[in-house]
Amino acid sequence: MEITGKIIVALEQRSGTSARTGNAWMMQSFVLETTNEQYPRRCVFEVFGEDRLREFNIQVGQEYTVSFDIDAREYQGRWFNSIRAWRVTAPQAMGAPAYGAPAPAYGAPAPAAAPAQAGFNQPGAGDAAYGQAPTAPTAAPQAPAVQPNATDDLPF
C-alpha cells in the first residue's frame, strides 16, 4: 500500500538486541499527515533497520510517498497493528518536479511554440500605427460532415 503526505513528527529511535539471534536492531516511528484530502488523516509507520533509516533520510516537514505493509500480532490476548515502511521516496525523486513540467534534457531542441493568433495588443494584429498589415487567423480543421442514415436513430 502507499500513502503520500507530510512528516509531522519523528519519534525517538529505539534499539536493542534480539533475544533469539543476539543481533542488534534499530527502528524509528514517524507520523505522516495526508496533504491531498479535505480532511487530513494521520498515520504512524515504522522504519526497521539502521541501513534503511540512513537510506530514507526522513526529515520532519518534508513530503514523502511511503510504501508499507500492514501486519497484526497478538500479545497477551490483545492484538496490535504494525505498519512497516519498505520504501520512502520524496515526490521530486519520483519523476516530475513539484512545479510545472519537467525541464528538457541539456542539448535537446526546444519545443515548437504554438502559432500566435492575431488579437488585441499582439504583434501582427493589424495596428496601422505600426505599419503592419492585418493577419488572418488560421481556421481550425473541422470534421467531415456526416451523412444522415435513415435507419440510424441515434442523436449523435
Domains identified in the chain and CATH numbers: 2-92 (2.40.50.140)
Average pLDDT over residues 25-41: 93
Mean pLDDT of the chain: 77
Residue 96, pLDDT score: 45
Cα 1 to chain centroid distance, Å, stands at 15
Read off φ and ψ for residue 34, nearest 5 degrees: -65, 145
Cα separation, 50 vs 13, in Å, equals 10
pLDDT tens profile 112-146:
555 554 444 545 545 455 555 555 555 555 655 55
- Give 138 or 49, the one with higher predicted confidence: 49
DSSP single-letter state for residue 87: E
* Class of residue 139 by CB neighbours under 10 A (exposed 0-12, middle 13-18, buried 19+): exposed
Per-residue pLDDT for 152 more than 50? yes
Ramachandran bin of 8, using left for φ above 0, alpha for ψ from -120 to 50, beta for the remaining angles: alpha
